[in-house]
């Protein structure tokens, strides 16, 4: 069976980190499909698709069409309205549903859908990545509230912190290769940090998987945070800024030295996922190096010996990127694009624009 992963046009690269986690488990990725247009996406052949994502945003709230074979690991009921747009029957047809958070488990069970907690695939992404053997360095603040600095986070850490974000620049919102590449750089950076402070679930979970100490300072007003973190309290050192006025240095140090342990039940569900991917011939044993060349190259015959200047694009379903030409002859075109984790697994076609 062929295999698909999600693409996005959102303002959060945490979405793309979830797709990279899926791609890094696959021996091949045949298609990228827009998560928020999945109900309108028609394909000719069956494709396996891990629903490890917040479902669903955008105007089309329908579930995937029949040719997508869903693997429900990390399913998140991001929008309760989808249950009124065909999702209830869809989920009942594919139950039991592996859910990202305990809120989703409870919500589905309340509607008569069998469900269980798997956590998110990003909690295991470090098992598919080779981290460079070098000392950890630096403190990272990833989308941390400015009001937390000095009040909740010790001044000494604030003075030496590097501040980065999961918000993509507007220019790359619709360019999936650029998004995957920036998400890959985020993963590389957090993998080498001595400490990460963040409110982002899909920074915190990869940190655990990569062995990076992490402190979560969540804010209830962002993206239904309390329900998205429900269940992860037993794993992550989570503090909701809405609940505390101040933390002492000792209290913060306790959070920073917390040693997360993935529950045995989640390990069992992850092992079951690997077995399922093996059965559809889509589990890869390859481990991806975090550090590598900055670009990927693709080649294609020059159709009709077309003359330059012509634009070329890399495509894979909804993935479409204007590539940089590195060589052009009357027989062959070579072009490059930014490297991202798992890029060699993607069936990307190079063609004239």
pLDDT in tens, the chain (353 residues): 999 999 999 999 999 999 999 999 999 999 999 999 999 999 999 999 999 999 988 888 999 999 999 999 999 999 899 998 899 999 999 999 999 999 999 999 999 999 999 999 999 999 999 988 889 999 999 999 999 999 999 999 999 999 999 999 999 999 999 999 999 999 999 999 999 999 999 999 999 999 999 999 999 888 889 999 999 998 999 999 999 999 999 999 999 999 999 999 999 999 999 999 999 888 998 899 998 899 999 999 998 787 876 789 999 999 999 999 999 998 999 999 999 999 999 999 999 88
pLDDT, residue 309, reads 66
Say what the pTM is: 0.96
pLDDT, residue 285, reads 87
pLDDT, residue 222, reads 84
pLDDT, residue 28, reads 96
- What's the angle, vertex CA 67, arms to CA 66 and CA 69, rounded to 5? 90
């Amino acid at each position: 069976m062929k295999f698909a992963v999600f693409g996005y046009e959102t303002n959060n690269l945490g979405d793309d980190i979830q797709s990279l986690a899926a791609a890094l488990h696959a021996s091949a990725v045949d298609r990228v499909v827009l998560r928020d247009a999945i109900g309108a996406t028609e394909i000719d052949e069956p494709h396996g698709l891990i629903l490890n994502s917040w479902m669903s945003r955008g105007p089309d709230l329908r579930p995937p069409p029949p040719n997508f074979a869903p693997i429900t690991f990390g399913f998140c009921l991001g929008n309760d309205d989808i249950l009124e747009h065909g999702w209830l029957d869809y989920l009942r047809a594919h139950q039991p549903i592996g859910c990202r958070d305990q809120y989703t488990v409870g919500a589905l069970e309340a509607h008569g859908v069998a469900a269980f907690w798997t956590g998110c695939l990003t909690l295991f992404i470090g098992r598919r990545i080779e981290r460079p053997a070098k000392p950890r360095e630096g403190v990272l603040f990833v989308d941390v509230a400015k009001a937390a600095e000095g009040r909740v986070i010790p001044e000494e850490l604030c003075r030496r912190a590097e501040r980065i974000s999961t918000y993509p620049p507007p220019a790359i919102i619709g360019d999936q290769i650029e998004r995957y590449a920036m998400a890959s750089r985020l993963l590389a950076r957090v993998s080498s940090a001595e400490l990460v402070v963040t409110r982002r679930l899909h920074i915190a979970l990869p940190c655990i998987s990569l062995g990076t100490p992490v402190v979560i300072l969540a804010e209830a007003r962002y993206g239904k945070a309390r329900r998205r973190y429900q269940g992860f309290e037993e794993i992550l050192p989570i503090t909701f800024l809405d609940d505390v006025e101040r933390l002492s240095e000792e209290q913060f140090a306790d959070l920073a030295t917390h040693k997360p342990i993935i529950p045995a039940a989640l390990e069992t569900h992850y092992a079951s996922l690997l077995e399922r991917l093996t059965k559809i011939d889509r589990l890869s044993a390859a481990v991806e190096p975090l550090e590598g060349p900055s670009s990927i190259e693709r080649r294609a015959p020059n159709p009709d010996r077309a003359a330059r200047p012509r634009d070329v694009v890399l495509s894979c379903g909804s993935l479409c990127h204007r590539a940089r030409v590195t060589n052009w002859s009357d027989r062959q075109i070579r072009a490059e694009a930014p490297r991202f984790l798992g890029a060699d697994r993607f069936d990307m076609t190079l063609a004239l624009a």
